[in-house]
C-alpha cells in the first residue's frame, strides 16, 4: 500500500516565530536533504509533497519569492522519486505581480501547485488578491494548498470554505485543520458540505473522530501526513498517525485512499500500478 506524505516544508520558521518557539536550521543543505530522505524511509513513507516554508525574508520583494520557488523546483529535481510533487508560493500582497510568478512556476519550473500559510504571509485566507490568483491557477490546472491552523484567525477554515464555494472547479487541500480537537470537528463539519476540499489528517488531534467521519462519509476527502513537515522535526520509526490508520478497522480500500490514492487524484497523477 503506497504511503504519501502531503505536508513537507523546505526551510524553517526561525524568521517568523518568537524567541521561545523559534529554531534555526543547523544542518547544511546536503545534510538536510539526506536526513529528510532517510527519515521518509525509516517512517515507511514512499514519497512526499514538498513546499516552501512561508516565513522567508522578503527585502527584495518578489525576487525573494522567485528564489524560494526556484529552490523548491531544484529540490524536486535532485530526487524526483521521493519528491515528485513540488509546490511554489506567491505573496497576495504582491498583487498582480503574483500572476506572472504563477505563470513562471507552471511553465518554466513545472511546479504542480501553490501553497500558502497566511498567518506567515500577513493576510486572511479570503483576502481579495486570492481571487485573481485562484482564477489563474484554475486556468493552468494547478492545485491550491492552504493551511487552516486553528491558532490563527487569519487561517480560519470557514474562510477556505468561502473560496471553495467561489471556485468549484478547483479542488483545495487544507493542511493543519486537525491541530486542535474542537477545530478538527469543525473541519469535519465543513467537509460534509464542501466536496472540493481535501483535508490532511496530520496533527495532534485525535484520529478517532476522523475515522468515524470516514465511516459515514467515505474516504475520498482525507489525506495523510506524518507530522515531520520541517527538517528540525526529524523522527525515527513509523509515525503515530500512520500506525493508527493501518491498525484501524477501516477497509483496505479506505486506507489506500487516505494514504495515497487521494493525493494522486488531487495532483492529477496516474494511479500507482
DSSP string covering 95-114:
TTHHHHHHHHHHHTS---EE
Per-residue pLDDT of the chain (273 residues; tens, 9 = 90+): 999 999 999 987 777 777 666 666 677 888 889 889 999 999 999 999 999 999 999 999 999 999 999 999 999 999 999 999 999 999 999 999 999 999 999 999 999 999 999 999 999 999 999 999 999 999 999 999 999 988 899 999 999 999 999 999 999 999 999 988 888 999 999 999 999 999 999 987 779 999 999 999 999 999 999 887 776 456 667 889 999 999 999 999 999 999 999 999 999 999 987
Residue 232 confidence (pLDDT): 46
**3-class secondary structure, 167:** coil
User: How far is 160 from 90, CA to CA, in rounded Å?
Assistant: 17
List the Cα angle 26/42/144 in 5-degree steps: 70
* Count of CB atoms situated within 10 Å of the CB of 122: 11
User: Who contacts 190 (Cβ-Cβ below 8 Å, separation ≥6)?
Assistant: 157, 158, 161, 197
| Distances, alpha carbon 110 to alpha carbons 37, 46, 87, 219, 238, in Å | 22, 21, 9, 29, 31
Question: What domains does the chain contain, in order, with CATH numbers?
Answer: 4-266 (3.20.20.140)
DSSP state of 170: S
**3-class secondary structure, 128:** coil
DSSP state of 125: T
Residue 24 confidence (pLDDT): 64
User: Who contacts 107 (Cβ-Cβ below 8 Å, separation ≥6)?
Assistant: none
Q: For the chain, what is the total number of helices (H) and then of strands (E)?
A: 11, 8
The 10 Å CB-count burial string (b at 16+, else e) for 91-104 is bbebeeebbebbeb
| Distances, alpha carbon 25 to alpha carbons 29, 44, 73, 233, in Å | 10, 24, 20, 10
Q: What is the pTM of this model?
A: 0.94
Report the candidate in 121, 112, 124, 132 with the shortest Cα–Cα distance to residue 51.
112
Residue 124 confidence (pLDDT): 96
C-alpha cell at 218: 467515505
Task: Spell out the long-range contacts of 73-76 with Cβ–Cβ below 8 A and sequence spacing 24 or more.
Answer: 73/109, 73/110, 73/111, 75/10, 75/33, 75/50, 76/50
C-alpha cell at 228: 515531520
Amino acid at each position: 500500500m503506497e504511503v504519501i506524505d502531503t505536508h513537507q516544508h523546505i526551510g524553517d520558521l526561525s524568521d517568523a516565530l518568537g524567541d521561545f518557539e523559534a529554531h534555526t536550521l543547523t544542518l547544511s543543505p546536503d545534510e538536510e536533504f539526506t536526513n529528510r530522505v532517510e527519515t521518509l524511509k525509516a517512517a515507511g513513507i514512499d514519497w512526499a509533497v514538498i513546499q516552501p516554508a512561508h516565513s522567508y525574508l522578503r527585502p527584495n520583494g518578489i525576487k525573494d519569492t522567485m528564489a524560494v520557488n526556484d529552490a523548491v523546483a531544484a529540490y524536486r529535481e535532485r530526487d524526483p522519486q521521493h519528491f515528485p510533487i513540488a509546490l511554489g508560493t506567491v505573496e497576495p500582497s504582491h498583487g498582480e505581480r503574483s500572476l506572472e510568478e504563477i505563470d513562471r512556476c507552471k511553465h518554466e519550473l513545472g511546479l504542480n501547485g501553490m501553497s500558502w500559510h497566511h498567518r506567515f504571509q500577513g493576510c486572511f485566507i479570503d483576502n481579495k488578491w486570492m481571487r485573481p490568483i485562484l482564477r489563474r491557477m484554475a486556468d493552468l490546472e494547478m492545485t491550491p494548498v492552504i493551511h487552516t491552523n486553528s491558532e490563527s484567525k487569519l487561517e480560519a477554515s470557514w474562510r477556505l470554505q468561502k473560496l471553495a464555494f467561489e471556485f468549484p472547479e478547483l479542488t483545495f487541500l487544507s493542511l493543519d485543520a486537525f491541530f486542535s480537537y474542537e477545530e478538527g470537528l469543525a473541519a469535519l463539519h465543513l467537509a460534509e458540505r464542501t466536496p472540493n476540499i481535501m483535508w490532511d489528517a496530520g496533527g495532534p488531534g485525535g484520529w478517532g473522530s476522523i475515522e468515524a467521519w470516514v465511516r459515514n462519509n467515505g474516504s475520498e476527502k482525507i489525506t495523510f501526513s506524518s507530522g515531520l513537515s520541517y527538517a528540525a522535526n526529524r523522527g525515527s520509526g513509523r509515525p503515530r498517525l500512520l500506525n493508527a490508520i493501518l491498525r484501524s478497522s477501516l477497509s483496505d480500500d479506505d486506507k489506500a485512499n487516505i494514504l495515497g490514492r487521494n493525493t494522486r487524484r488531487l495532483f492529477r497523477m496516474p494511479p500507482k500500478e
